[in-house]
Each structure stands twice: as C-alpha cells, then as structure tokens.
With several copies, the nearest count.
Chain A
Amino acid sequence: MEGQEVGEGKTKLIDESGKRLDGRKWDELRPISIQVGLMKNADGSAYIEWGKNKIMAAVYGPKEVHPKHQVLPDRALLRCRYHMAPFSVDERKNPAPSRREIEISKVIREALVPAVIVEDYPRTAIEVWVEVLQSDGGSRVAGITAASLALADAGINMRDLVVGCSCGIINNQVVADLDDTEDKEGSGDMPVAIMPNLGLVSLLQVDGIYSREQFQKAFELAIAKGKQVNALQRAALNTRFFGGEAKTTQVEEVAE
C-alpha cells in the first residue's frame, strides 16, 4: 500500500501518549516572542525568538538602486539576505554564504515580494536582512515572520503580512513546528509561508516522504499554525505602534 513504509523509526521522537521530546503535543507550537522596532539605524526591524531560534530582521529602503542597471522601472527591487551567524549552530559556520543560505535567501525574497506593493516604489531598492543569531528548526519561516514585520515597521505599503510555520513528519506522524532534533532525526520537514488574510501560500518547500494524506494534513496544519503565529505578529505590531506593555507575547496567550 502506498505510503505505508514511510518513516525512519530510529529515534523515538514522540511517545505513546503523543508527547514529543520537549513535552509538546503533536500540533503545538514552541514558545514564540516577537519585538518590533528594536534596531536604531534600520528603517524597520523585528526580532523573533521561536523555540531556540533567535533571529533579527531589518529593512532599509526604499532607497536608490546600485548598480543602476538593476533598476526596475515599474516597481521596487526587493533584495533579501538570509545569513547565519558563525556561532548560531553547533559547529562554527564559515561566515561566507553557503549554497543553502543563497537558496533560502531566494525563497524568502519570493515569499515576501507578493505581500509588498512594489508598484508603489518604482526605481527603488528595498533591502531585507535576516540574521540568524541562533538556529533551531524552522529558522526560515521564523525569519519570514520577522521580516514581514520589519517591512511593516519600515512603513512599506503591504497587501498583507507574511507568516510561516514548518510542519513535518516524525515517527510517521504529522506534527507542527519541528525543532532542530525533530528536523534532523525526523523524516520530513515542510516550511510553509502564507499571506493569512488573503489565504495565499507564498513559500512551500518539502523534504521527506509523505503519503498523499500526510502531505495534505501537514500542509493544512502549517497553514493553520501560520494563522496562529499571525496573531502574535499583529500583537507585536500593536505593542509597537499603539503602546501597551512592550513585554513579549507568548504563544500560550493567543486564542486560536
């Protein structure tokens, strides 16, 4: 039968009662806290802690395009760099961009552009810098989540926020929001980014083996969890622009 022999089964990542190694339920997010506007020089910024991920996103622009031949006459050029600090992972990472970082920079850019009203800023550049200070599983979706807030903080016109969550498979079971161990020992990782109000998917990558049913379950779970994280995004923007305590919002506080 199709899909039956899927899964690696080596490490016990989820127990009989459905508890994962860190105590979470199958569909439970790690703790998330978001702060908008911490960086002084950037035109916009957001800092996210998501599980052990610690990621700073900052935006500069709209600004002049250099070199000039890259100018887009009818819209803004959005540049994006996803970069991992050398100390962000277990083994020190060479600071030069790896092929993985180059690919992720591209998919993050392509996930963000649809949300930005680039037609409002012809002939300019908007730069999005995502710096992973500490990496856990799901750093690209956490980075996108922070980056779209940084764009909003910079006052860039947007159609919607972009928010992401990664779901996947551990011990042949669909779970939400894989951490580092689950990503490495599990059998599948599916980062998804959505524009939650428009109901559109702007990033989708899939690793691992999913039956058709698992594929749909993981995908729909990622969208649902993305919407949950979007509530945190909105709370963080609210704190930034309409005051209230600057304390970090925890995922537990959010009604689904």
Chain B
Amino acid sequence: MSMKKNYVVETIRKAQMVQLLASGKRVDGRSLDQHRELKIETGVIPKANGSARVFLGNTQVIAGVKIATGTPFPDTPDKGILMVNAEILPLSSPYAEAGPPSEDAIELARVVDRGIRESKMVDLGKLNLVSGKSVIAIFVDCNVMNVDGNLFDATSYAVVAALRTAKMKKYVIKDEKAEATNELIQVPVEKTPVSLTFARIGDKVVVDPGAEEEASMDMRITITTEDGGNVCASQKGEASTITPAQVLQAADTSIRVGKAIRAKIIEATK
C-alpha cells in the first residue's frame, strides 16, 4: 500500500522506531523474528470449492477457490491451470482505492502465486483430463479485508489453506471427453509452501511487519520455503536495498520459522 505520508510525522516516528529496535524491541513488544498471532478459519465460503479466512494480527484476508474445466495453455497441453488473483478491497484501508488492480495488488497476487506455483504445491499434471483439450482450472481469488501490514504472508497462508481444503469433482474420460461424476475428491496438494516476510527498518530486519512498521520500513523481502526446507520463491520490495548477509540470514529464518507456521497451517486444514 502506498500511503500518503506526512513527512515530518513519519520522520519522527521512524527515528523512534529505529531507536527502539536498536535495543532489540518492536513497537508492539514482539521480538525481531516473532510473527503476530495467526488464525486460520476454513470453509468460510461454502459456495466456493475451498476457502479460508486468515487473520495475521489485524490483517485479514479471505481466499476462495473456484474450480472449472478449461483448455490448457498451448505450451503445457497436459497440465492443469492454477491462477491466483488478489484484490485489496477499498473497505480494507483508507489508502486502498476502488478500480482496476493497482500495481501493489498485482505484485501481491504474482508473488503469492509464485510461492504456490514454484513449490509445486498442486500437482498440475494430475489436473489433466484430455491432453491438449481439457484440463481442470483452479482459480484462487483473494479479498484483502483489512490491511494491517504484511499482506504477502496473510494472503499466501489464506491461499494455501483454501487449496488444502478444496474439493473438486472427479472426472471420468469417455471417448476423449471429460465427464463430471458426483464424487468429490481433494485437490492434489503435494506441498505446503510457507511465505515469510521481513522488513528492514534502519539496519534491523524484523519478521512480519505490522502497518506501523511498514510505514517506516526501508525494504521488504519475502522468502517462501517448502516442506523440504528448500527456498522456492522470493521477492525483494520497496525502493531500498538489503545486504547480502541480511538475505542469507532471512533465508535461514524463513526455513526455521516456516516449519512452525507450516505445522500450524497443516493443523488448521486437516
């Protein structure tokens, strides 16, 4: 979210925050690598094929999965389709606006999509119906309901939880045509990617920045890891820099903290 800043106030606020961080403290009392309380509710939109509402502190995101059949992309004729979209609703923040997706919303959707896609969370090969003609297409739409920092992680967790609990029709193939049965089966989920976002404020890097911290942050970096402890996606953001050492340390933190969050997501989506 690009907020309209009051430069004088922002400068004072940031100076205070940097001072606080120098003594290892954050505005809300968390430790540097501590994320806010994560709550995950699933099945919140019964009409969707899968859904989840995630609260990360006061940030709230709802993801809904819709599944249909479609035509595969020409270059992947035997793979299903997975699309992640996000809208930062105007009701979510005084700075969000109605209209076509902003640059921020497009980046948000693409970074979340990348984490899901690159982890191979969903086995797209299992979504093939008739090669080159018909595949299963999964759309995950995310509604950001309340903005309080770190949309990347909250949105990612919502998408992962929605996909983990999504059910789709089983299809049978007759004469090169896919026919839907009444049987419902799980979406073929293989992995549980976990996104972790850091903010650099001054020379300190903190996990899961809240809105106040984002208003003062210089740089943002998201690192997504998968079950094997591998890194599968990353995105640096904001118009500033990060040192190589900070990148590597963030990767370590992401692998470590990611494990706990993954367990929590798996628990919430059993």
B100 surroundings in chain A (CB, below 8 A): 96
B231–A210 CB distance below 8 A: yes
Task: Return the contact of A106 from the options B60, B103, B231 (Cβ within 8 A).
Answer: B103
Contact with A along B89-118 (1 / 0, CB 8 A): 111111000101101001101100010001
Contact B141 A129 (CB under 8 A): no
Q: Mark A95-114, 1 if CB is under 8 A from B, else 0.
A: 11001101101110110011
A73 within 8 A of B: yes
Interface size class, chain B: 35 or more
Instruction: Determine the chain B residues whose CB is within 8 A of the CB of A205 once the complex forms.
Output: 234-236
Interface of B is mostly: mixed
The interface-forming segment of B20-28, B29-37, B241-249 is B241-249
Asked if B58 is at the interface of the complex by the 8 Å CB criterion, the answer is: yes
Choose among B221, B230, B235, B241 the residue with the greatest number of A CB atoms under 10 Å from its CB: B241
B229 touches A134 (CB 8 A): no
A201 touches B141 (CB 8 A): no
- Interface status of A34 (Cβ within 8 A of chain B): no
Quick check: B252 and A212 within 8 Å, CB to CB?
yes
Chain A: minimal CB distance from B115 (Å): 10
Q: Which of B118, B239, B244 has a CB less than 8 Å from the CB of A201? A: B244
CA–CA, A89 and B229, complex, Å: 35
Q: Is B252's CB under 8 angstroms from A60's CB? A: no
Pair A199/B243 contact, Cβ less than 8 Å: yes
Summarize A's interface: helix, strand, loop or mixed: mixed
Complex contact A201–B238 (CB within 8 A):
no
Among A20-28, A215-223, A231-239, A247-255, the stretch that binds chain B is A215-223
User: Quick one: given A102-B106, A208-B232, are A215 and B251 in contact (CB under 8 Å)?
Assistant: yes
Q: Chain A residues near B107 (CB, 8 Å)?
A: 103, 106-107
A106 CA to B111 CA, complexed, in Å: 13
| Chain A residue at minimal CB-CB distance from B221 | A204
Instruction: Report A176-233 residues with CB < 8 Å from chain B CB.
Output: 188, 190, 195, 198-212, 215-216, 219-220, 223
Taking CB atoms, residues of chain B closer than 8 Å to A78 are 239
A206 touches B234 (CB 8 A): yes
Q: Please tell me if the beta carbons of A102 and B237 are within 8 angstroms of each other in the complex.
A: no
What are 13 residue pairs bridging A and B, where the CB atoms are less than 8 Å apart in the complex?
A3-B229, A6-B228, A81-B98, A85-B62, A114-B240, A131-B145, A201-B236, A202-B240, A204-B247, A206-B234, A207-B118, A209-B228, A212-B229
Interfacial residues, chain B to chain A (CB-CB below 8 A): 7, 44-48, 51, 58, 60, 62, 64-66, 68, 85, 87, 89-94, 98, 100-101, 103, 106-107, 109-110, 114, 118-120, 139, 141, 143, 145-148, 221, 223, 226, 228-244, 247-248, 251-252, 255
Which 9 A-B pairs have CB atoms at the shortest separation, nearest pair first? A87-B64, A206-B234, A58-B91, A200-B241, A113-B239, A129-B91, A92-B66, A2-B229, A86-B141
